[in-house]
Amino acid sequence: MSVNLCIDWGNTNVKAAIFANDKLQKQVIFSENAALEHVAGLLETHKPEKAIICSVVQSGSELEKLIVSKIPGTLVMTGTTNVPIINAYLSQDTLGPDRLALVSGAHYAYPDKDNLVISLGTCITYNLIQKNKTFRGGAISPGLQMRLKAMNVFTDMLPEIASLDDEPLLLGYDTETCIQSGAANGMASEIDGMIRAFQERYTDFNAILTGGDAPYFAAKLKSKIFADPDLLMKGLNLILNHNVPFPQ
């Protein structure tokens, strides 16, 4: 049985997934401080033969050393890594490798569609992979927590909102509920608007929602979407297999 380890080191958390014969078997999320302990446990328990590390932060060298010590052929992904699609992004040196993984996974799942992958994390990334396998880019905007924090940091009087109600009011009745309305309803309206704009240009079209805040927003959007919380890991597994053959 072939076993792969996929690591997604994001701006907020670290995620790890185990694939056995290309089937997702286990996925865990943990803090940066707990990364070494959790990954060491996965290496010991599952004994993966191949690994891929996708990171959008500068830290993580100790984790990389740990994985490479156990799996010498570990693939450390960048914006220029060989992928099973056409990467036509013009500034690949600043391209988050997670975006490549997302569109790779989307094209594999829906090869006959133009797919807009919307990832809701620290930032919102809109990533279009055309049905001719070409990724040229999309858009980036602030994510939910960034919006909430920015309103506090860049003003003198607006409070920081730690969490949102499940259904924020459209008409806020005090400062806190007004901030909630603006952040959540404004973000939902942005996403719907971006989906409509892409849909007008690309007719055989899918919108795929993923990322940490996707469950919160999935029911708040008016547009038809497909939700796939595991899309990034599926894309990483594809890219790993594309670059590193299974040990004989």
- Write out the chain's pLDDT in tens, 248 residues: 689 999 999 888 899 999 999 999 999 998 888 888 999 999 999 999 999 999 887 766 888 889 999 998 899 999 999 999 999 999 999 999 999 999 999 999 999 999 999 999 999 999 999 999 999 999 999 999 999 999 999 999 999 998 898 999 999 999 999 999 999 999 999 999 999 999 999 989 999 999 999 999 999 999 999 999 999 999 999 999 999 876 55
Is there a single domain that holds both residue 63 and residue 103?
A: no
Residue 90 belongs to a domain: yes
Give me the long-range contacts of 129-135 (CB less than 8 A, separation at least 24): 129/85, 129/103, 129/104, 130/202, 131/107, 131/204, 132/86, 133/84, 133/85, 133/86, 133/107, 134/85, 134/86, 134/88, 135/85, 135/86, 135/87, 135/88, 135/89, 135/99, 135/100, 135/103
The whole-angstrom separation of Cα 93 and Cα 240 is: 20
- The CATH number assigned to the domain holding 61 equals 3.30.420.40
Burial class (CB in 10 A: 0-12, 13-18, 19+), 219: exposed
Is there a single domain that holds both residue 99 and residue 72?
A: no
pLDDT of res. 209: 98
List, in sequence order, every residue forming a beta bridge with 129; answer none if it has no partner.
115, 135
pLDDT of res. 208: 98
pLDDT of res. 245: 76
Domain of residue 229 covers: 86-234
Residue 247 belongs to a domain: no
Is there a single domain that holds both residue 190 and residue 124?
A: yes
Number of domains in the chain: 2
Residue 239 belongs to a domain: no
pLDDT of res. 248: 55
Cβ neighbours of residue 113 under 8 Å, at least 6 residues apart?
131, 204, 205, 206
The question of whether 98 is a catalytic residue gets the answer yes
pLDDT of res. 13: 87
pLDDT of res. 218: 95
Residue 248 belongs to a domain: no
Question: Of 98, 114, 213, 228, which is the active-site residue?
Answer: 98
Is there a single domain that holds both residue 104 and residue 197?
A: yes
Is there a single domain that holds both residue 227 and residue 119?
A: yes
Residue 175 belongs to a domain: yes
pLDDT of res. 61: 80
pLDDT of res. 148: 96
pLDDT of res. 72: 87
Residue 246 belongs to a domain: no
Is there a single domain that holds both residue 19 and residue 122?
A: no
Is there a single domain that holds both residue 107 and residue 229?
A: yes
* pTM of full prediction above 0.85: yes
pLDDT of res. 190: 98
Tokens of 7: 């690591």
Is there a single domain that holds both residue 121 and residue 7?
A: no
Is there a single domain that holds both residue 109 and residue 48?
A: no
pLDDT of res. 134: 97
The whole-angstrom separation of Cα 31 and Cα 38 is: 10
Is there a single domain that holds both residue 45 and residue 103?
A: no
Is there a single domain that holds both residue 96 and residue 206?
A: yes
Query: Where among 44, 77, 110 does a domain terminate?
Result: 77
Is there a single domain that holds both residue 63 and residue 185?
A: no
Residue 18 belongs to a domain: yes
Residue 171 belongs to a domain: yes
Task: Provide the residue type at 220 as one letter.
Answer: K
